[in-house]
Amino acid sequence: MIRPINFHYCHVTNDEAMPLAIVRFTSYDDDGGISAVSQITYESNSDYFQSEVSTALAYGTDVSILTRSPLTDFEFLHHFVEA
């Protein structure tokens, strides 16, 4: 059985104190149970953030993003999600 990948993107406005993004990654075992959850704060490196998220999605990891930037600010990630 192929499990759908969940992607959540939450754009928070009017919070300049927030880092670039806070991301929660959730991976699952073969039986569909949660095998790992990690939360990472990306302070400023947009390329690294986009690389990590797109790699996680490619490997079937659920991704939840909280950020002060609209998705269109992240060209590579925006293209990856739209594809």
Domain ranges of the chain: 7-82
Q: Concatenated DSSP letters for the chain?
A: -PPPPPEEEEE--S-TTS-SEEEEEEEE-TTS-EEEEEEEEE-S-HHHHHHHHHHHHHTT-EEEEEESS-GGGSHHHHHHHH-
Q: Which two tokens stand for residue 37?
A: 């959850």
Q: What are phi and psi of 59, to 5 degrees?
A: -95, 10
Q: What is the pLDDT of residue 2?
A: 75
Q: What average pLDDT score do residues 7-26 get?
A: 92
Q: What is the pLDDT of residue 82?
A: 82
Give the global pTM.
0.89
